[in-house]
Amino acid sequence: MTMQSTSVREKAILVGVATADQRRTRVEDYLEELALLADSAGADVLHKILQERKSIDAAFFIGKGKAEEISWLVEEKRIDLVIFDDDLSSVQVRNLEKLIKCKIIDRSGIILDIFASRARTNEAKTQVELAQLQYMLPRLTRQWTHLSKQFGGIGTKGPGETQIETDRRAIRTKIARLHTKLRDIGKEREVQRKGRENLPRAALVGYTNAGKSTLLNWFTGADVFVQDQLFATLDSTVRAVSLTPAHRLLMSDTVGFIRKLPHNLVASFKSTLDEVREADILLHVVDLSHPLFEEQIAVVNETLEDIGAQGKPTVHVFNKVDRVDNRNIVPYVGANFNNAVCISASRGINMTGLVAQVTSLLEGTIAEETMTFGQNDYELMSQVHDGGEVLETRYDGDSVTLRFRMIRPRAEQIKKALLRKKRSRDQ
């Protein structure tokens, strides 16, 4: 897929609506985040427009009068795009385009555009392309034609450039092919995970730009790409980590979450997010310096529930403590969040406390088992030696009894495999 880039930054207007269910101050905060998204996509925000209404307008999202005001502002300031903080329906897009003579993009559209520009690997590009096509399918209006033929730039990367003139049937065919491709990639990932299943797994999760990649670099000494921007990394990275000589694990970093992360994007990134689903413990990284960090925690927890990864043993890693002015926040998070530790990954503050917290949580997931193996069970015995700590070995004729410590899910897998082999031998 050809990605289009623009050297000249585009001029943008942001639009949000405060309703009875959404306070004005909260929408102002959301518009600040939308401004960061716009900046990440390559736009300069010239104006932020916030309208207070009883409810969202079904035809224009905002009132028609407010849409006409924006239209005048677009012409006067030569604005390139108007970005709405909530998703627009195809009807709303069509009506807004009739009044406002520039690109109309919603929150999901800008997030998908950023993902398209950041995707590096074949898997990430495939995942983003699938999400974009699914997003585009119900929105095949004049928008996509004028984005391709007249404007270019933000909102037009990926399939927005190449699929504009195809009909829905062609897009559905492409979607089906991408689903098949991602299933194949998912199978490859599953084989890779099975190859390393003897070690416990920890997954770094958190709101975008919370510092997950910086933390992974500290643990591993690796050189994972780090930049102070939203969605700096999309691809999951897995590294071996030695917390102590007796505590080794695999740690994975994956895409950050954000408010209203497009559903199609979450679905497309299934194989990447499997690293989170199959983790034994989670390290939930939080930007403690952000004024809405508790809301960001809630967003991450909701997303974890959406992907079926809720309820796992979790360390709450409150990062960027060096940027916090209110020192009372440290005892507050300690009292209100389980397994909480405050750190600065970039400056190495309290990292020994984090290691102790992760080690303690890991200990809680470790079981001590005693199993007797036959002489032909060498593969299972090898798994015990590779992924656990052998405490005692006893030999009795052709059998070997091992007493060992291992992460509980792995020990259960070995126990089940051993029972299956014994039943097979007894038949």
Which CATH number applies to 10-168: 3.40.50.11060, 2.40.50.220, 3.40.50.12160, 3.30.70.3270?
A: 3.40.50.11060
Report whether 130 contacts 159 (CB < 8 A): no
Q: Using the predicted structure, report yes or no on whether residue 2 has a pLDDT greater than 70.
A: no
pLDDT, one tens digit per residue, over 210-245 is: 998 889 889 887 665 445 555 555 566 788 888 887
Contact 37, 111 (CB under 8 A): yes
Q: What is the pTM of this model?
A: 0.75
Q: Which residues have a Cβ under 8 Å from the Cβ of 44 and sit 6 or more positions away?
A: 9, 10, 11, 12, 38
Best CATH choice for the domain 199-363 from the list 3.30.9.10, 3.40.640.10, 3.40.309.10, 3.40.50.300: 3.40.50.300
Do 10-168 and 199-363 have matching folds?
yes
- Coil, helix or strand at residue 410: helix
DSSP 323: G
Domain parsing of the chain, residue ranges: 10-168, 199-363, 366-426
The yes-or-no verdict on residue 395 having pLDDT over 60 is yes
* 193 or 258: which leads in pLDDT: 258
**Helices and strands (DSSP H and E) totals, the chain:** 16, 13
Which pLDDT value is given to residue 409? 74
Tens-place pLDDT, residues 153-210: 666 565 544 444 556 777 788 888 888 888 887 777 666 655 555 678 899 999 988 9
Judged by DSSP in three states, 304 sits in helix
Residues 6+ apart with CB under 8 A from 163: 133, 136, 170, 171, 174
Quick check: 348 pLDDT over 50? Answer: yes
Give CA–CA dist 158/120, Å, rounded.
13
Residues 6+ apart with CB under 8 A from 371: 384, 401, 402, 404, 414, 415, 418
The string of DSSP codes covering 193-242 is HHHTTTS-EEEEEEBTTSSHHHHHHHHH-------SSTT---S-EEEEEE
Instruction: Give the helix, strand, coil percentages of the chain, each rounded to 5.
Output: 50, 20, 30
Alpha carbon distance 234, 295 (integer Å) = 22
pLDDT in tens, 41-74: 889 999 999 999 999 999 999 999 999 999 999 9
Q: Dig out the tokens for 231 from the structure.
A: 């969605």
> CA 143, CA 147: separation in Å to the nearest integer?
6
Rounded Cα gap, residues 27 and 346, in angstroms: 31
Pair 14, 31: CB distance under 8 Å: yes
